[in-house]
Amino acid sequence: MTPRRPGVRLFLLFFGFYALTASGNPFRVPDEFEVYFQAEHLVDAGDISVPQTLAIRDAGGPIFFGEFGQDAKPYAPYGPGVAFLILPFHLAGRAVAAWAGVPRAPLPAGIPWELVAGGVTALAMAFAAALAVAGCHRACLALGASGDRARLLAVMLGACTILWPYGKALYCEAWLAAAFAWTAALLLGLSAGSPASPGAPSASSGSAVASAFRLNVAVAALLIAGAIVAKPTAIVVAPAFVVAVLLDSRGTTRGRSLTAAALIAGIAAAAAAHVAWNVARFGRPLDFGYNLAGMIPYPPARTFIPEQIPLGLFVQLLTPGKSLFVWAPVSLLSLLSLRACWQRERGLTAGLIAALVSSLIFYAAFFLPEGGYSHGPRHLVPLVPLLMLPLAVRGVDVPHRALTACAVVGFTIASLAVTVSFFEDQSPVQIGSRIVSPYYDRVEPGVGEVNVRYRTDYIPFKFALTSGQWLSPARPAGNGPDFFALHLVQARRALPGGAAIPAWLPWAVSLPWLALVLVMAALSLRQATG
């Protein structure tokens, strides 16, 4: 059996798993619903402005978060890449809504249609997270891990880390995780195919190896560029891959130089694309569209605040709500293995350290180091697949009990996060005459700083599960246990026009994925025991 077939089964298993447990609710925060509206308007009008946000109002007015461009259209402050990545799923969502007979109407009357189309669109990140699992598996094999160890680490990534909650939401971090995992897999698989590598048996086979090398390098560079186009801050991690390539002891000097040059070209091209996009929209190369006026009482806005780096590091590493080690416990084992990994895989170790240090410091200084409303250390999610790789290196011994403990803790945290919507657990709620927020404190900010501060004593899931709102029969549509099928049942019962959603649709969006999970799990179990 070739290594690729277990990888395909893992991908299908986790695609079904993530889709079965998907939220189907991309309408909580702008980072989700404005990305969805980008894809929707791309189909409707051929551009990725978000005029839909002007038609929906909350207590503060239109829900639009962004800036108006030079063409007077409203634009979201997110990279253009995600709208194109989720487009196939959005088209599938339109098809499902048409098949179910849910009529489309202008907003806000057309919310039932949006719920169906949006829920299917959000499955794009289930697809991306499953790709990350498969990419991690391939990278582990490229490092020389046995099939059993590669499969174990991939399953732990998929079910026992923060990747699972991000496989069910429309945040773009799952796509970045997939891009980085597959870039690592491709780069780790290059050494045997370096141009001019010694020992080539014939000119024809040498030519085939060189062609495969060039293809892998080109795809790796495109993946890095795609990650940056999807989210510009991915450029913080991208140079770490160049470091890893240049310090890799395998392959040839020429091969490493060509690979590094291709990656740098991909990074530069993606940065240029963002600059061109910003100039086209706003006439300013570094204006990404973040309108922070409502959060910055005393302008000018400061996106980066160096003096808060110690607090930001504390938030990302040591608080219960955001610690990388709480939300991906296996990452602690990985860091403890870096010394042994350095002796065997210097390129991998150096690249991983570079990625961690640059990300931690960059986001510690970011104006919202906690990542805004979200589960766990959102900014660090793309690094989690890479953190599995030191444990795949031959000669790096990890106690089985330690892996088991990390798997149990990680699965417990991830399964709770999948059940409880981050927004319901974190957003301000009125209880009696008081507005209570378990997540943010209002503060008197300095010049250019935001007027909220993450509460370092925030305990995940506690508020939602103890407030009495989570399972209340009177809860608003979209609240409660965070699963697509349940949200459809709730919307059908509670929303104006919700009866247009047929009673069989919640079953239709669940049973195929359940069947896929069972079939792939059976095939994988048969392989493991056969």
3-class SS at 245? helix
Return the closest-CA partner of residue 463 out of 379, 373, 378: 373
Q: pLDDT band at residue 525, thresholds of 50, 70 and 90?
A: confident
The per-residue pLDDT for 322 is 97
Please give the backbone phi and psi of residue 202, each rounded to the nearest 5 degrees, phi first: -160, 165
Q: Which pLDDT tens digit goes with each residue over 437-451?
A: 899 998 998 898 999
The per-residue pLDDT for 1 is 40
Q: pLDDT band at residue 192, thresholds of 50, 70 and 90?
A: very low
Rounded distance between C-alpha atoms, residue 451 and residue 441, angstroms: 8
Rounded distance between C-alpha atoms, residue 368 and residue 453, angstroms: 8
Which of these ranges, 96-110, 121-135, 404-418, 461-475, has the smallest mean pLDDT?
Answer: 461-475
Rounded distance between C-alpha atoms, residue 485 and residue 489, angstroms: 6
pLDDT for 359 beyond 70:
yes
Rounded distance between C-alpha atoms, residue 403 and residue 519, angstroms: 27
Residues facing residue 166 across a β-bridge: none
Domain boundary assignment for the chain:
124-197+204-419
Rounded distance between C-alpha atoms, residue 446 and residue 306, angstroms: 13
Question: Six-digit token pair at 131?
Answer: 């790709």
Question: Six-digit token pair at 273?
Answer: 């694309």
Neighbours of 404 (CB within 10 A): 11
Element (H, E) at 127: helix 123-142
% of the chain surpassing 70 pLDDT:
94
% of the chain surpassing 90 pLDDT:
73
Rounded distance between C-alpha atoms, residue 274 and residue 279, angstroms: 9
Average pLDDT of the residues in 458-484:
83
Angle at 126 between CA 121 and CA 132, to 5 degrees: 135
Average pLDDT of the residues in 65-83:
93
The per-residue pLDDT for 507 is 96
Average pLDDT of the residues in 193-216:
63
Q: Tell me the torsion sign for CA atoms 148, 153, 159, 165.
A: negative
pLDDT for 253 beyond 50:
yes
Q: Which pLDDT tens digit goes with each residue over 362-393?
A: 999 999 999 999 999 999 999 999 999 999 99
Return the closest-CA partner of residue 112 out of 23, 27, 19, 20: 27
DSSP characters for 174-203? HHHHHHHHHHHHHHHT-GGG-TT-TT---H
pLDDT for 421 beyond 80:
yes
pLDDT for 199 beyond 50:
no
Q: pLDDT band at residue 196, thresholds of 50, 70 and 90?
A: very low
Under 8 Å between Cβ of 51 and 41: yes
Q: Which pLDDT tens digit goes with each residue over 16-66?
A: 999 999 999 999 999 999 999 999 999 999 999 999 999 887 756 678 999
Better pLDDT: 475 or 73: 73
Say which DSSP state 378 is in: G
pLDDT for 2 beyond 90:
no
Q: Which pLDDT tens digit goes with each residue over 264-310?
A: 999 999 999 999 999 999 999 999 988 887 788 888 888 899 999 99
Q: pLDDT band at residue 480, thresholds of 50, 70 and 90?
A: confident
Average pLDDT of the residues in 336-357:
95
pLDDT for 107 beyond 80:
no
Rounded distance between C-alpha atoms, residue 240 and residue 378, angstroms: 19
Which of these ranges, 88-97, 104-113, 181-190, 408-417, has the smallest mean pLDDT?
Answer: 104-113
Neighbours of 444 (CB within 10 A): 8
Give 102's contacts (C-beta < 8 A, 6+ positions apart): 112, 113, 116, 500, 501, 502
The per-residue pLDDT for 494 is 87
The per-residue pLDDT for 3 is 44
Rounded distance between C-alpha atoms, residue 285 and residue 417, angstroms: 38
Q: Which pLDDT tens digit goes with each residue over 393-407?
A: 988 888 899 999 999
Rounded distance between C-alpha atoms, residue 276 and residue 316, angstroms: 33
Tokens 């170790």 sit on residue:
349
Rounded distance between C-alpha atoms, residue 387 and residue 7, angstroms: 19
Question: Six-digit token pair at 171?
Answer: 């945040």
Measured torsion, CA atoms of residues 440, 303, 174, 51, in degrees rounded to the nearest 10 = 90
Rounded distance between C-alpha atoms, residue 341 and residue 96, angstroms: 48
Number of residues assigned to the chain? 530
Rounded distance between C-alpha atoms, residue 413 and residue 328, angstroms: 9
The per-residue pLDDT for 427 is 85
pLDDT for 469 beyond 60:
yes
Rounded distance between C-alpha atoms, residue 410 and residue 403, angstroms: 10
The per-residue pLDDT for 301 is 86
Residue type, 479: N
Under 8 Å between Cβ of 285 and 227: no
Under 8 Å between Cβ of 348 and 143: yes
Neighbours of 509 (CB within 10 A): 24
Better pLDDT: 195 or 522: 522
Average pLDDT of the residues in 204-228:
86
Give 67's contacts (C-beta < 8 A, 6+ positions apart): 74, 75, 77, 281, 282, 287, 289, 290, 291
Average pLDDT of the residues in 335-359:
95
The per-residue pLDDT for 530 is 63
Mean of all residue pLDDT scores within the chain: 91
The per-residue pLDDT for 295 is 82
The per-residue pLDDT for 437 is 87
